[in-house]
Structure 1
Amino acid sequence: MGTITSGARGLALVVATIALTACSAQYRDHGYTPPPEDLAQIEVGQDTRETVRETIGAPTTEAMIDERSYYYVSSRMRQFAWRAPEEVAREVVAISFGPSGTVSNVERYGLEDGIVVPLERRVTDSGGNVGFIRQLLSRLGGFSPETFLD
């Protein structure tokens, strides 16, 4: 009466396997950064935007303000079962171009460097500290809240 059947052992083994795999980390890689041997082909002062694209491929993004940099970005995310994904590795390769259009600098940053590279910038000019209601009412025939309150 104290023996466990082979079917019960098999079921226990399956449950234990599922439990262990659910607790193991899952990794996802995103983006692309060129390997060092490809970056070594880029010559500062010689290569242009077009030759960089031909040599190492199109960038992940380009600088938004001055359009003088290419950025290649890759990251690695780790997730355990129900927990939120966590970024465990990030690499950014920044290739800057001078006014003449040739490469002026090639830099590689990692997550451990702590350098923030703004890849996207969305700034809206508020036009001062005027509230929405005040703006709306001032557009209606010169209406001012002060005259309404008097």
Structure 2
Amino acid sequence: MALVTTGCASIATNRGYIVDETLFAAVQPGIDNQQSVRGTLGQPTMVSQFGDPVWYYISSRTEQAPFSQPRIEQHNVFAVQFDEAGNVISTDRSGMEQVARIDPESDTTPTLGRERGFLEDLFGNIGTVGGAGPGAAGGGGR
């Protein structure tokens, strides 16, 4: 019975930055700069590409039951914003309230243009293969 029970247990996986509350609390606006933040928290997970420089430290904890999709159980984003001189302006935390659950799987894929039926999909290319074009007879390819 113990073997069956362990086979049905969920698998927990930590991804990204490993959260340490003490280190996050040590980063203080007006006191720290980019060098001290890198020394305290390490390399950021992601750095903003536009606007003010912001470093993001992202972590997620997922659980996956057997024969199912992984599900995010815990998500943390710690953002450190810097001024032009590299000094910390502000810090911000967000969590699960920012996670959007989407279902990318559906029966149809929307496309631009007209709708084609099954027979048009099946027989739509008959006559177009080997037609006049560069290198074909009458195509003026040379």
TM-score bracket for this pair, using the shorter chain length: 0.5 to 0.7
Partner of 1:45: 30
Partner of 2:84: 99
**Structure ranking higher in helix proportion:** 1
Q: What is the DSSP-based 3-state SS (H/G/I as helix, E as strand, rest coil) of the residue aligned with 1:82? A: coil
Question: TM-score normalized by structure 2?
Answer: 0.63
Deviates more, 1:35-44 or 1:21-30: 35-44
Matched residue type, 1:48: N
After TM superposition, give the deviation of residue 64 of structure 1 in Å: 1.9
State the aligned residue count: 100
CA contact (8 A) 2:52 2:81 kept: no
| Cα distance change on mapping 1:37 and 1:47 into 2, 3 Å | same
CA distance in 1, matches of 2:54, 2:82: 6
Among all aligned residue pairs of Structure 1 and Structure 2, give the percentage whose two residues are the same amino acid: 27
Partner of 2:9: 24
CA distance in 2, matches of 1:18, 1:100: 59
Q: What is the DSSP-based 3-state SS (H/G/I as helix, E as strand, rest coil) of the residue aligned with 2:86? A: coil
Partner of 1:124: none
| Cα distance change on mapping 1:61 and 1:109 into 2, 3 Å | same
Runs of 4+ in 1 over 4 A off after TM superposition: none
CA contact (8 A) 1:109 1:115 kept: no
Q: Does 1:108 align with 2:87?
A: no
Q: Which has the larger radius of gyration?
A: 1
The alignment's C-alpha RMSD in Å is 1.9
Deviates more, 1:66-75 or 1:38-47: 38-47
Question: TM-score normalized by structure 1?
Answer: 0.60
After TM superposition, give the deviation of residue 37 of structure 1 in Å: 1.7
Matched residue type, 1:93: F
Out of 48, 51, 58, the position equivalent to 1:66 is 51
CA distance in 2, matches of 1:57, 1:46: 17
Partner of 2:115: none
Unaligned runs of 5+ residues in structure 1 are 1-15, 117-150
CA contact (8 A) 1:96 1:105 kept: yes
Unaligned runs of 5+ residues in structure 2 are 101-142
CA contact (8 A) 1:33 1:93 kept: no
